[in-house]
A and B are shown apart, each in its own frame.
Chain A
């Protein structure tokens, strides 16, 4: 059951999807280009019996998320690149303490203060841990406002299922554009969380913790969270294929960039080139298996990103040398055009044996 809402801005649509997913607490700190999310939450969340609080910093915000998530409520934060950097300490603790929560990163350009324009330079930070120690976030990258809604809605279930933080990796483009959306129905009953610290009553106390000072116990803790990651790698791998069946060359791209690449792929098809698109949706767990399968019958893969080349490393890992991998990237908030990508496709096509 969904409800058509007409046109909605990406950031607001995701905020509404979070509310419908049962998000009852939001903690965040202002940063462009995601301010519509806290603004929306500030207006709507208290009316639905939830808590909105503007924290004094992203450092505090993620630790409020830790506290609220540890006490069992569906909780989220949102930010953009420099703010997400500040949350890395908290995310490491949250992953080890196995607290479910959702983090939206509307990526802007970096390093440093960078700029407020769309970018994809946070891929490594999002998918390879980000903070200290051995852990992963479950990372999902939508490429349309509708997909952003669907993923946000599901992210809370995934966070609860794995007791792991789920990051939605968007960018300024996705957050700011308006598209027509259908919104899911608000969730009803949510399962109890017997591990949550809500006051133990007459029962046994619960402890939310990430400190295990003895090596063997800490190692077992890490192995325990990695068993969850193994499960995710089995059950949560997502991707989209477009015109891959007879393709000799693939463009690989995620998020907003994949939409632009899709247009370029369609144009290349019009020109008679056998090109397809491979779009990872889950960035962790990454669709290595599917990629390897496709690579066996390809003559090459062109990876396109709004970065100097980050996902391309996972593409190469997945391809295992089965075909050549090339890269085209724009950075600093510059968005590749379909024409630019088409030029890259044509160049690669013309070099084919």
Chain B
């Protein structure tokens, strides 16, 4: 029998702990496929962050470090600077990267740190049970904005990619979504370009991927995908902000 589909060798056999309908699983797989296709497993060091993807070190079959909340870009910097031949990527959510770790993110980007960041934006704190994130949409309910996010009280959804796009140290920067086969395809291409930016020593690369959180959005998986397409993508337009080729 011919094998037509298999789990990439860069993923472990451990079943994902993610909720039904969450797109972390798709994104993990895309990252793993790109690591494999670019033959990076042996020299890759991944950084797991704090949030739903905290156990990423259980899933990627390469050297991994687990970082404190928000500090993944600093940890990645320490590794990449001392191991310039290695391939260093972080996997972070929007609370980790956009809130508590925005300083580390901006400065790593501004230094043109030669690392790659997978930024999964689902507009909510998932692991802790659905609190408001800096990326939560106006009007969106969360446990800490029970009446819906209001600009006057909570500020505005933080456009991370648009902010980083102003920095000259950024080599590759794109925002994608994984709500359809086409979106998945585009996302994989973006991840590959981000990783190739690092291989070519062009500097900082980041892919922001709009993701779902059916559990904390209180939507079924299909409705959650529609929320990404109809609501989130309005506030966070899909775009290649910077490319190096």
A residues whose Cβ falls under 8 Å from a Cβ of B = 24-25, 27, 51, 53, 55-57, 59-61, 63-71, 73, 75, 89-90, 93, 97, 197-202, 205-211
Separation of A70 and B46 alpha carbons in the complex (Å): 12
Which of B41, B45, B60, B78 is close to A63, meaning CB atoms less than 8 Å apart?
B78
Separation of A256 and B74 alpha carbons in the complex (Å): 34
Contact yes or no, A56 B104, CB < 8 A: yes
Question: What's the nearest-Cβ distance from chain B to residue A159, in Å?
Answer: 15
Contact of B144 with A by CB under 8 A: no
Question: What's the nearest-Cβ distance from chain B to residue A96, in Å?
Answer: 10
Contact of B76 with A by CB under 8 A: yes
Contact yes or no, A208 B64, CB < 8 A: yes
Contact of B91 with A by CB under 8 A: no
Separation of A97 and B41 alpha carbons in the complex (Å): 23
Chain B residues, Cβ within 8 Å of A93: 67-68
Chain A residues, Cβ within 8 Å of B60: 205
A90-B68 contact in complex given A63-B74, A211-B54, C-beta closer than 8 Å: yes
Separation of A294 and B241 alpha carbons in the complex (Å): 70
Contact yes or no, B78 A65, CB < 8 A: yes
Contact yes or no, B63 A200, CB < 8 A: yes
Question: What's the nearest-Cβ distance from chain B to residue A75, in Å?
Answer: 7
10 contacts between A and B (CB under 8 A): A57-B103, A67-B82, A70-B78, A93-B67, A198-B63, A199-B42, A199-B44, A199-B63, A208-B66, A211-B66
Contact of B228 with A by CB under 8 A: no
Chain B residues, Cβ within 8 Å of A24: 82
Separation of A179 and B134 alpha carbons in the complex (Å): 53
Prevailing SS type, chain A contact patch: mixed
Contact yes or no, A63 B81, CB < 8 A: no
The residue on A at minimum CB distance from B41 is A200
A200-B82 contact in complex given A55-B74, A56-B107, A57-B103, C-beta closer than 8 Å: no
Chain B 65-93 residues near chain A, CB threshold 8 A: 65-68, 71, 74-83, 85-87
For the complex with contacts A197-B63, A200-B42, 11 further pairs of A-B residues with Cβ separation under 8 Å are: A51-B81, A67-B65, A70-B78, A71-B82, A198-B63, A198-B83, A199-B63, A200-B62, A201-B43, A207-B65, A211-B54
A56-B103 contact in complex given A199-B43, A202-B42, C-beta closer than 8 Å: yes
Chain B residues, Cβ within 8 Å of A63: 67-68, 71, 74-75, 78, 104
Number of chain B residues whose Cβ lies closer than 8 Å to a Cβ of chain A: 35
Interface centre among B68, B74, B81 (most CB of A within 10 A): B74
Chain A residues, Cβ within 8 Å of B68: 63, 66, 89-90, 93
Separation of A59 and B78 alpha carbons in the complex (Å): 13
Separation of A64 and B82 alpha carbons in the complex (Å): 10
Chain B residues, Cβ within 8 Å of A60: 71, 74, 77, 103-104, 107
Separation of A69 and B42 alpha carbons in the complex (Å): 19
Question: What's the nearest-Cβ distance from chain A to residue B39, in Å?
Answer: 12
Question: What's the nearest-Cβ distance from chain A to residue B92, in Å?
Answer: 13
Chain A residues, Cβ within 8 Å of B57: 207, 209
The residue on B at minimum CB distance from A206 is B63
Contact of B61 with A by CB under 8 A: yes
Contact yes or no, B79 A70, CB < 8 A: yes
A66-B67 contact in complex given A60-B104, A209-B57, C-beta closer than 8 Å: yes
Chain A proximity mask over B118-134: 1 for CB below 8 Å, otherwise 0: 00000000000000000
Contact yes or no, A53 B43, CB < 8 A: no
Chain B 24-41 residues near chain A, CB threshold 8 A: 41
Contact yes or no, B63 A51, CB < 8 A: no
Contact yes or no, B63 A53, CB < 8 A: no
A67-B77 contact in complex given A60-B107, A93-B68, A199-B42, C-beta closer than 8 Å: yes
Separation of A227 and B61 alpha carbons in the complex (Å): 30
Question: What's the nearest-Cβ distance from chain B to residue A68, in Å?
Answer: 4
Chain B residues, Cβ within 8 Å of A208: 64-66
